Amino acid sequence: MSVTDSTPSAGFTPPTRFAVPGRIAVSNRAAATWQRATLTEVRRETPHAATFRFAVPDWEGHLPGQHLMLRLRAGDGYVAQRHYSIASPPDDTGHIELTLDHVDGGEVSGWFHTVAKPGDEVEVRGPLSGFFAWPGDRPALLVGAGSGVVPLMSMVRHHRARGLSVPLRLLVSARGPEELIYASEYGAETAPVFTRTAPEGVPVGRVSAAHVAALLADRPEGGWEAYVCGSNGFAEHASRLLVDAGQPVDRIRIERFG
């Protein structure tokens, strides 16, 4: 279940402001400034989710786990804005990637999935929220369901890209194998939990106490920081299991999409 990288640590020393255990400072200027983002590529992940890659030349960078505000503007002046987690790692200079579920009847996700094409422009501002950020400086347990895996994948990609040696573990849940976002990026050691359909021989069910116990089986120096992301229901369920398994409540960070 663990996502580990055999590459030795590249010796990444996080800047001092990243070493704070609680909320990480965000730039007020970046958070308040709308920037133009040009769609450059669309990649299908599952029948209901796709990744949208944007060129954002003045993007100041982000930490894995952070999100942004995205704004669409119609010709008649109508504006819609939504939060989206950043899927790409921080080192992807001048580019960001978002992965969107196609929500039934959804205004913004519907536009992306049915209308958007490379060359289209939208506006973004961010990064936002220092609370769900993982600077790569502490052991992290990542627990996500559905599109809740998006900010967690930014963390996994950062871990791999930098060759970090700090322990990182990932538990993902999806309705079925065809709904598993980023399926090709999980190592053999990641055992996804399927809630509705599963390959033969694989049990169907929710994330359970046994899954969480396996995640917490050993305690690295300094303990684990848990990051939970998904719908309201999933976030409640997973965080309760973590607390029951002994994870301190003040070391569980939750991001809810629902």
CA angle 96, 101, 105 (to 5 degrees): 125
Residue 189 within binding range of ligand FAD, rule CB under 6 A: no
Residue 41 C-beta: closest distance to ligand FAD, Å: 17
Residue 255 within binding range of ligand FAD, rule CB under 6 A: yes
CA angle 235, 139, 204 (to 5 degrees): 40
What sign does the dihedral 130-133-136-139 (CA atoms) show?
positive
Stretch in the footprint of ligand FAD (CB under 6 A) among 4-12, 82-90, 169-177, 208-216: 82-90
Residue 234 within binding range of ligand FAD, rule CB under 6 A: no
Rounded Cα distance, 138 and 21, in Å: 9
Residue 227 within binding range of ligand FAD, rule CB under 6 A: no
Residue 151 C-beta: closest distance to ligand FAD, Å: 7
- In the bound state with ligand FAD, the residue whose beta carbon lies nearer, of 83 and 219, is 83
Rounded Cα distance, 134 and 153, in Å: 11
DSSP assigned state of 2: B
Residues with Cβ < 8 Å from 207, sequence gap 6 or more? 143, 145, 171, 173, 193, 234, 237, 238, 241
Rounded Cα distance, 126 and 83, in Å: 10
- In the bound state with ligand FAD, the residue whose beta carbon lies nearer, of 51 and 247, is 51
Segment 20 to 79, residues that bind ligand FAD, using CB under 6 A = 67
- In the bound state with ligand FAD, the residue whose beta carbon lies nearer, of 110 and 139, is 110
Q: Which residue is nearest to ligand FAD (CB)?
A: 106
Segment 120 to 179, residues that bind ligand FAD, using CB under 6 A = 147, 150
Binding site for ligand FAD (CB under 6 A): 67, 82-85, 99-101, 103, 105-110, 147, 150, 255, 257-258
